[in-house]
A = this chain, B = another copy of it.
Amino acid sequence: MAKILMKGNEAIAEAAIKAGCVNYFCYPITPQNEVGEYMARRLPEVGGAFLQGESEVAVGNMLFGAASTGQRVFTTSSSPGISLMQESISYMAGAHLPVVIVNIMRGGPGLGGILPAQSDYFQATKGGGHGDYRLLVLAPSTIQEAVDLMMLSFHLAEKYRNPVMIIGDGMIGQMMEPVEFPEHHEEPELPSNDLWAITGAKGREPRVIKSLFLDPKLLDDNSWNLYDKYARMEREEIRFESYRIKPKNKILIVSYGTMARICQTAIDELEKDGVSVGLFRPITLFPFPSKQIAKEAKKKNIENVLVIEMSTAQMKEDVDLAVLGAKPVKFYGETGGLVPSPDAVKEQIMKLIKNPNDELKRR
């Protein structure tokens, strides 16, 4: 298919449809409203279910009901809305339901602001709801990648029967970039959803989709089964990108999403000035590419790992956990709409090159 110029939010919507997901529930919130508006136009055309729910609490639970049919379903929201879904997300994870949730993040905490931020990293990766569960978390850095990950996410959700979350900052939602949709969408085959979905107890025992296990043994089993799934994800689903990683780099930048693109510009410009810096961009934030980062960080040439985020050093914890003290991990970031510019990134890199042992001003 030819490339078309599309707003991120609309591209995400179209990608879902292309991946065979024609069911969408939502509640309006900036900066992702275009997804719902697009779906309101498109889903009647393709014969799917579109519903604007009364709240994010309700929408989270509509997903729960919808996913129980075994059909594909997703929602999109932004930070405060995602907080309101935490109970239902925990329930869906506990009940092993495949759903896709997109968080076009805004600055927080609270009402915060609507400009780009990456401050929901912990919520997404550590589980903002209660109990022993995780989400599979993907972070695109371009609209094309948002499309690709969106299309992949339904398959992953079904492969693991686990909610998948895609997080992007407001730029991912609001930017227009040229995108291409595949002619045909193919996926590896999976066992049929009919094996677990709720379809009426005709010719079989009644089924229950639930997260209630009053017998502690069963609950314990469920929690460790989830844990095993996450271990399997770590073996099979790690995704990342390396950019200009070379033996002469002294600094390894770790950054994700749009922030990583900004780092790329900085790196490109520095390269022109003869300063060579590498970038590691996690695409899966959970499972986190810890081993891969550790491997890069431990290379002899690396003096410093530099984490750059639009949050107060959230992903940095995962990088620390990956590097485990093998190299110093420094941080630079701005948050809540003050997107660090390529120049600001360059400045920090140069500082670190000059004084490798200094801490950076954190912003």
Contacts and interface: CB of A to CB of B under 8 A. Distances in A.
A123 B130 contact: yes
A335 interface: yes
A131 B110 contact: yes
Interface string A136-180: 000000000000000000000000000000000000000000000
B123 A109 contact: no
Nearest to A211: B110
Interface stretch (A19-27, A113-121, A185-193, A272-280): A113-121
Interface in A93-134: 93-95, 105, 107-115, 117, 119-120, 122-123, 126-133
B132 A219 contact: no
Number of copies: 2
A107 B123 contact: no
A214 B117 CA distance: 13
Given A90-B108, A216-B107, A335 B130 contact: no
Nearest to A230: B312
Contacts of A86: 83-84, 86, 128-129
Q: What is the size category of the interface that chain A forms with chain B?
A: 35 or more
A91 interface: yes
Interface stretch (A5-13, A34-42, A45-53, A321-329): A321-329
A226 interface: yes
Interface of A: 57, 79-80, 82-84, 86-87, 90-95, 105, 107-115, 117, 119-120, 122-123, 126-133, 210-217, 219-220, 222-224, 226-227, 311-314, 317, 320-321, 324-326, 334-338, 362-363
29 contacts: A79-B130, A79-B131, A80-B87, A83-B86, A83-B128, A84-B84, A84-B86, A86-B128, A93-B109, A95-B110, A107-B219, A108-B129, A108-B130, A108-B133, A109-B130, A109-B131, A109-B133, A110-B131, A111-B212, A112-B213, A120-B131, A122-B127, A123-B126, A123-B128, A213-B336, A220-B335, A224-B312, A224-B362, A320-B324
